[in-house]
Structure 1
Amino acid sequence: MARTRTPISGEPAEAPERILAAQYVRMSTEHQQYSTQNQSKTIGEYAERRGIEIIKTYSDDAKSGLIIGGRRALQQMISDVESGAAEYRVILVYDVTRWGRFQDADESAYYEYRCRKAGMQVDYCAEQFENDGSPTSTIVKSVKRAMAGEYSRELSVKVFAGQCRLIELGYRQGGPAGFGLRRALLNERGEVKAELKRGEHKSLQTDRVILVPGPEKEQRVVRRMYEMFVNEGRPESEIAEVLNAEGHRTDLDRPWARATVHQVLTNEKYIGNNVFNKVSFKLKQRRVVNPRDMWIRAEGAYQAVVDKALFLRAREIVDARSRHFSDEELLDALRAILKRQGQLSGLIIDEENDLPSSSAYRCRFGSLLRAYRLIGYEPERDYRYIEINKALRAAHPQVVEEIIEGVTAQGGYVVQAADTQLLRVNDEFTVSVVLARCQATAAGSLRWHIRLDTGLVPDITIAVRMNETNDAPRDFYLLPSTDMTDARLKMAERNGLWLDAYRTETLDDFYTLAGRAKVTEAA
């Protein structure tokens, strides 16, 4: 608190200098009792006792404290503080856990240090210590930060155990049904209520979702794929050609490809098994592909579409083909392909049924070009990008349709302009959807070039970064036009806070933003 000069007799007393502050509040999905309103009430009482005036609020609603990604309010506050744009000198936070439950306690301290370095005081209003930099406060904060991270780890274990229990009971845990299958909604008595269409979700916590066989026509196609693969010895690429020639489409209404056929031939759901934990993404850390013996499964949970013996035979063929190749064996295979085809490209490698994909070569040797050089091949140009761009153009309408379904499922509505293809959401803002092809440098690093529709001036651009094989989204960037000054963006795997602040693993946050609630719910 600033000191005030003692007034001379007869002179009016000076008003004490105002202390201006901003409050930061956060509510995570697993901590509903920590509502932002309750936090603001406690912070307001703390400020009143100390003569502090709150002039700005930063609020992250329904945001996990595990990472700073997605916490736009915290990122904006730090940016305001470091840029000098902040008019306040104090930041008020409910407690240490609302600042974050970072798995590395030093990360939490780092963000506070950045604020303090810019001359900002950070106060935790519901804590029993003063955040004054004393040894006592430093020790207590360190312990509480570690405890906050440990709580998240314990919660993660409990949530995972609950998910595993539901899987063992035969209930589906998210994801589309897939070709030949459908999702059915069960009530608390286990009775089928309805079939869920793509983009629809259950509305009651007591409801459960299971898989059921789809239309008989699709089931016959699935069984025929297995028969062609096992009994006729046809590779996935040839099966895809047959299906496309007969006019069959995938569940996403796309032409069949080697990868989509392979997914059908290797997924246990077609023999009625409920499988979980193929990929781990615990505590929002790095994604890990788990070996088969770590999968959680319930056998015979659903009605099978394919005979189990036929499925196991298909698995044996895939497993035998997927054995580990030595570096020299992989290079010998490249030499054989080059001798047979006369050239090499990522597309040519991917079409080989008995070899790993081109992405496997990139991982093993750092890049395709390096693998080429090891066998003495210097390509004039890799034309694989032509096929990839063609596939992305074909996939774009489906991605847009999925976004429309996601907004609609949250109660919003979308109109797509016939000429510009821009989406107008709730008659409030416009959205452009851009698919960015993944490219590998000679050193094996990944790059994406994103071209924004600056001429159309959309309010938000959803940039979809594709994965290494360019057959599925890797992540998404929600880019507001007010913050984007360049028409082209060059992205690496990590791009710094100024750009990765807009990154999200899924579009759930966007759907929530675009959603609408009934008046009775909003009240």
Structure 2
Amino acid sequence: MVIEWTTDDDSQPGNPPKKRAAEYVRMSTEHQKYSTDNQASEIRAYAERRGFEIVRTYADEGKSGLSVDGRASLQRLLADIDSNNIDFEALLVYDVSRLGRWQDTDEAAYHELRCKRAGITVHYCAEQFENDGTISSSIIKTVKRAMAGEYSRELSVKVFAGQCRLISLGYRQGGAPGFGLRRMLVDERGQQKGMLERGEHKSIATDRVVLVEGPAEEVAVVQEIYHQFVDGQRSERTIAEWLNSEGILSDLGRRWTRGAVHQILINDKYAGHNVWGRTSFKLKSKHVRNDPADWIRHDQAFPAIVSQLQFDQARLIIEQRSKRLSDEEMLAQLARILDASGYLSGLIIDEFDESPSSSAYRSRFGSLLRAYALVGFDPAHDYRYLEINRALRQLHPTIVKSVIEGIHAAGGTAVQMLESDALLINDEISASVVIARCKLTQGGHRRWKIRLEQSRQLDLAICVRMDADNSKPHDFYILPRMTLAESVMRLADHNGLSLDAFRFDTLDGLFALTERVPVRRQAA
């Protein structure tokens, strides 16, 4: 006899109900056409194996993982979690990097912690470790987060170095061409392929962009602007009023302003020069205005609309405006601009009539930040690096002198070559002295960026890394030519044996190597 037991619950013990989960997918650029599809396919396979039912999808397409900013779906996911507007108990992500490539691993951990506090477990579907909170998984996850951030940093370094090289070859790297100029697409052999209109971009990786003269009537207008300013002694405001009265629109299709005319008068591209790197916006950090010494430029890269003489004359007129004013008069004018506008910036200063330009304030007071401080304005941005760079430039001759004296004290010879500022040691070895400013990351880690002059083909680069306060040298890197393949090097406290083998606490070892000794003594 068989007894058959029945219950009101039709569910079978071997098929438990599936757990509800949400998925988050992200791709970095719009060119990764199948990236989110591939991620979703792997996530769904993982869900099937682990018994999850995907009830929500959050997708950010063509978004960088460096921050939460700009990632609307991630922001919505975190907002839903914080407000408890959730109907799932797990979050499925393809791997650690898809959730983000934050430069600070603590920030990456913080967002996962927000999920855990809401009772949501995070699963990295394509990773080889189980995110179960064990010591081993925590270590691997931290390493993965650091690797994800490092990938973006290394990519940024490579992209920046590539951009610097292209600028040095005379190619344009982004930005509107400006009134009187146009963007020309050229192939890898420099052959012109056609004009790029506003909003158009190159589609072939090997193609490049250069600037060429625009329509003849626009070129004539630019030349007339310089003629009226230099020869006619007319102000930018007066020239803007003349342009508007003639019905001439700017390159953006707008009426002319004093600032728009001023930009034409100070921009090197109208004299044919390719200048890049005035500001930086690396790794989604704040925009910063770089020191002119750090700009990348290639002179005579494009056809010049105005002569170098006329361009220099225009710049001289602008600079001389402030020379007629005392410091107190300049600051009083800056205070009036602040009262009128409620804010200060380079563009705002350049828009005011009969006022020194923003570049004049930088020249007179060392930086715009210092001029702002003198009139009681705080732009709420950290521009201290400008003051630090200025102090380091003043320190450079002192350090060079100490290197020369150390070599002489050791019995060698060293002279500074006037044409390049490089050192000639013992009449046979050329070397440069480079000072690297120390910058602290948000996590408190020290970083240094070293710019190397490749065009001079020097034998050595003596790199001085400053301490965290940028007040005195921290240590030294003596880099031979074989290590100077890149124009920009970024260093941390530890950089691997390939670089740290050249690190020294002092320059005593270098000084000892420069000692001149008799051949007989050396042979003995």
Distance 1:83 1:112 in 2: 16
Query: Contact 1:236–1:353 at 8 Å: present in 2 too?
Result: no
Corresponding position of 1:303: 303
Corresponding position of 1:365: 375
In the superposition, relative to structure 1, how do residues 321 and 156 fare at CA in structure 2: closer, same or farther (>3 Å)? farther
The C-alpha deviation readout for 1:434-459, integer Å capped at 9, x for no partner, is xxxxxxxxxxxxxxxxxxxxxxxxxx
Higher-Rg structure is: 2
In the superposition, relative to structure 1, how do residues 186 and 334 fare at CA in structure 2: closer, same or farther (>3 Å)? closer
Distance 1:264 1:225 in 2: 8
The C-alpha deviation readout for 1:283-305, integer Å capped at 9, x for no partner, is 01000111222111121111110
Distance 2:326 2:49 in 1: 70
Query: Contact 2:65–2:102 at 8 Å: present in 1 too?
Result: yes
The C-alpha deviation readout for 1:393-438, integer Å capped at 9, x for no partner, is xxxxxxxxxxxxxxxxxxxxxxxxxxxxxxxxxxxxxxxxxxxxxx
Aligned letter for 2:63?
A: K
Say whether residues 1:351 and 2:346 are aligned partners. no
SS of the residue corresponding to residue 29 of structure 2 reads coil
Corresponding position of 1:397: none
In the superposition, relative to structure 1, how do residues 193 and 363 fare at CA in structure 2: closer, same or farther (>3 Å)? farther
Between 292-301 and 277-286, the greater mean CA deviation after superposition: 292-301
In the superposition, relative to structure 1, how do residues 136 and 334 fare at CA in structure 2: closer, same or farther (>3 Å)? closer
Say whether residues 1:77 and 2:72 are aligned partners. no
User: Shift in Å at residue 188 of structure 1?
Assistant: 3.7
Aligned letter for 2:269?
A: K
Distance 1:322 1:108 in 2: 49
SS of the residue corresponding to residue 297 of structure 1 reads strand
Query: Contact 2:92–2:124 at 8 Å: present in 1 too?
Result: yes
Distance 1:154 1:34 in 2: 24
SS of the residue corresponding to residue 345 of structure 1 reads helix
Where does 1:392-403 land on structure 2 (aligned, <5 Å)? none
How many pairs are equivalent? 356
Where does 1:55-204 land on structure 2 (aligned, <5 Å)? 55-204=55-204
Between 17-26 and 135-144, the greater mean CA deviation after superposition: 135-144
SS of the residue corresponding to residue 39 of structure 1 reads helix
Corresponding position of 2:430: none
Between the two structures, name the one with larger relative contact order (CA 8 Å, sep ≥ 6).
Answer: 1
- TM-score, normalised via structure 2 length: 0.61
Aligned letter for 2:202?
A: K
The C-alpha deviation readout for 1:325-345, integer Å capped at 9, x for no partner, is 99744454479x89xxxxx73
Corresponding position of 2:226: 226
User: Shift in Å at residue 183 of structure 1?
Assistant: 1.6
Identity %: 53
Query: Contact 2:26–2:59 at 8 Å: present in 1 too?
Result: yes
SS of the residue corresponding to residue 54 of structure 2 reads strand
Query: Contact 1:271–1:308 at 8 Å: present in 2 too?
Result: yes
In the superposition, relative to structure 1, how do residues 140 and 199 fare at CA in structure 2: closer, same or farther (>3 Å)? same
In the superposition, relative to structure 1, how do residues 331 and 162 fare at CA in structure 2: closer, same or farther (>3 Å)? closer
Aligned letter for 2:177?
A: A
Distance 1:363 1:228 in 2: 35
Aligned letter for 2:296?
A: I
Aligned letter for 2:375?
A: F
SS of the residue corresponding to residue 163 of structure 1 reads helix
Say whether residues 1:281 and 2:291 are aligned partners. no
Q: Superposition RMSD on alpha carbons, in Å?
A: 3.3
Aligned letter for 1:216?
A: A
Where does 1:16-31 land on structure 2 (aligned, <5 Å)? 16-29=16-29
Corresponding position of 1:50: 50
SS of the residue corresponding to residue 300 of structure 1 reads coil
Where does 1:434-445 land on structure 2 (aligned, <5 Å)? none
Distance 1:258 1:352 in 2: 8
In the superposition, relative to structure 1, how do residues 107 and 363 fare at CA in structure 2: closer, same or farther (>3 Å)? same
SS of the residue corresponding to residue 194 of structure 1 reads strand
User: Shift in Å at residue 137 of structure 1?
Assistant: 2.2
Corresponding position of 1:446: none
Distance 1:331 1:303 in 2: 39
- TM-score, normalised via structure 1 length: 0.61
Query: Contact 2:30–2:61 at 8 Å: present in 1 too?
Result: no
Distance 1:143 1:315 in 2: 52
Distance 1:321 1:123 in 2: 64
Query: Contact 1:271–1:304 at 8 Å: present in 2 too?
Result: yes
SS of the residue corresponding to residue 185 of structure 1 reads strand
SS of the residue corresponding to residue 22 of structure 1 reads strand
Aligned letter for 2:290?
A: N
Where does 1:476-491 land on structure 2 (aligned, <5 Å)? none
User: Shift in Å at residue 101 of structure 1?
Assistant: 0.4
Distance 1:295 1:323 in 2: 26
SS of the residue corresponding to residue 318 of structure 1 reads helix
Distance 1:97 1:307 in 2: 51
The C-alpha deviation readout for 1:13-56, integer Å capped at 9, x for no partner, is 44413211111111112994981222222222222222222222
Aligned letter for 2:41?
A: K
Aligned letter for 2:340?
A: S
Between 295-304 and 47-56, the greater mean CA deviation after superposition: 47-56
Corresponding position of 2:521: none
In the superposition, relative to structure 1, how do residues 254 and 54 fare at CA in structure 2: closer, same or farther (>3 Å)? closer
The C-alpha deviation readout for 1:449-483, integer Å capped at 9, x for no partner, is xxxxxxxxxxxxxxxxxxxxxxxxxxxxxxxxxxx
Distance 1:143 1:333 in 2: 54
The C-alpha deviation readout for 1:476-520, integer Å capped at 9, x for no partner, is xxxxxxxxxxxxxxxxxxxxxxxxxxxxxxxxxxxxxxxxxxxxx
Where does 1:456-495 land on structure 2 (aligned, <5 Å)? none
Corresponding position of 1:242: 242
Corresponding position of 1:508: none
Where does 1:418-437 land on structure 2 (aligned, <5 Å)? none
The C-alpha deviation readout for 1:143-164, integer Å capped at 9, x for no partner, is 2212211111111010111112
SS of the residue corresponding to residue 244 of structure 1 reads helix
Query: Contact 2:321–2:356 at 8 Å: present in 1 too?
Result: yes
SS of the residue corresponding to residue 126 of structure 1 reads coil
Corresponding position of 2:35: 35
Aligned letter for 1:355?
A: P
